[in-house]
Amino acid sequence: SQVQDMAKEKVQAAKNMAFAFDIDGVLAHGNHAIPEAREALKMLNGDNELGIKIPYILLTNGGGKPESERCEQLSQILESPISVDQFIQSHTPMQALAQYYDTVLVLGGEGVKCRGVAQSYGFKAVYTPKDVLAWNQEISPWRCFSEEDRAQSLPVDFSRVKFDAILVFADSRDYATDFQLIIDLLLSENGYLGTRSKNPGAGSIPCYFSQGDMVFPTAYKGPPRMTQGAFRISIEAMYKALTGVDLERVVYGKPELATYKYADEVLKSWMEEIHNENKIPQNVYMVGDNPASDIIGGNMYGWNTCLVRTGVFQGKEGENDPNSPANFGVFDHVLDAVKAAVRKEL
């Protein structure tokens, strides 16, 4: 009958749309859910007129913890199960680098959590700044280093370690030490700490950053706080001043193309998992709060973009971002964005 045909069409449309959600400022603030996000996810998990699952992935510039640990936390606060198979942190695509580099300095995040992350990606010898401080505290005159830090660190003679690459996975908790160690390795002879290249600026060891956001929303009531992009441009400025040449480096995360390509692969395999169909949904909706990463990246990649007012973007009613306007619209919160997109597609 006609009614059945219409229902069939809607089911097809539901399988042909998908959401990519930013986390900070859209689904949560740190470890507190944004309440509307719970209802939005419930709707997509099948609590809708068709009783069908609408695929979604989480695409965050956050990081610093193993994917499994962050998914467990998010599942609890969002009251919906979040699988690692639908989850991309800033550093998740960096696992591909493990086939090129064995010995890496991994920076950022709480304690030495990022060691475990890098090991889970397959890097063979993973060291953190705390390991280096445990070896020689004098390397960083203004370090933060406690007995607790020492307990987390590995006893290593770094005069014998040749680093293959520098990987910044998350926000530095000790800018002074991390600046110093990154610059030391960039200016080193072949990746050995304590050495200086005869020709600094020519062919330094590769340096990767997991994302480029300048600021992010926090519990602070004032303007958004600085994050990894601000840390990176400081390194770039120091490197340029010390060597006279521009630092060659690679940045992952939104809005970099590599991250969106990776997201497509994740969407494809997630579709396979929930609908047993091996295809990327055509109508992807990115819901984000940061015009300079979520929205500009989504626009460039041909996704529909929804900007929400629960995070970095602070525009007034009726305003879009002047530099990177969301092409599907601006919404008070994620639930309004999801409802509007579902209304459009089904």
Interface contacts to ligand G3P, rule CB under 6 A: 22-25, 60-62, 213, 216, 227, 290
In angstroms, the CA 218 to CA 212 distance is: 17
Toward ligand G3P, which CB reaches closer, 264 or 345? 264
In angstroms, the CA 321 to CA 157 distance is: 51
91 with 170: CB under 8 angstroms? yes
70 with 89: CB under 8 angstroms? yes
Toward Mg ion, which CB reaches closer, 274 or 287? 287
174 with 128: CB under 8 angstroms? no
From 145-153, 185-193, 253-261, 304-312, give the range in contact with Mg ion by CB under 5 A.
Answer: 304-312
Q: Indicate the residue type of 256.
A: E
Identify the residue among 13, 16, 25, 305 touching Mg ion (CB under 5 A).
25
CB of 262 to Mg ion, least distance (A): 18
Q: The sheet that has 125-127: what strands, in order across it? A: 125-127, 103-107, 165-168, 207-209, 250-251
Which of helix, strand or coil describes residue 262? helix
CB of 227 to ligand G3P, least distance (A): 4
Toward ligand G3P, which CB reaches closer, 194 or 223? 223
User: To the nearest 10°, the Cα dihedral for 90, 93, 96, 98?
Assistant: 30
Toward ligand G3P, which CB reaches closer, 281 or 288? 288
Toward ligand G3P, which CB reaches closer, 30 or 194? 30
In angstroms, the CA 258 to CA 235 distance is: 22
Extract the tokens encoding 329: 């619209």
Q: Taking CB within 5 to 8 Å according to partner kind, which of ligand G3P, Mg ion, none is near residue 213?
A: ligand G3P
From 14-22, 147-155, 225-233, 243-251, give the range in contact with Mg ion by CB under 5 A.
Answer: 14-22
Q: Taking CB within 5 to 8 Å according to partner kind, which of ligand G3P, Mg ion, none is near residue 243?
A: none
CB of 151 to Mg ion, least distance (A): 34
Which chain residues interact with Mg ion by CB under 5 A?
Answer: 22, 24-25, 289-290, 311
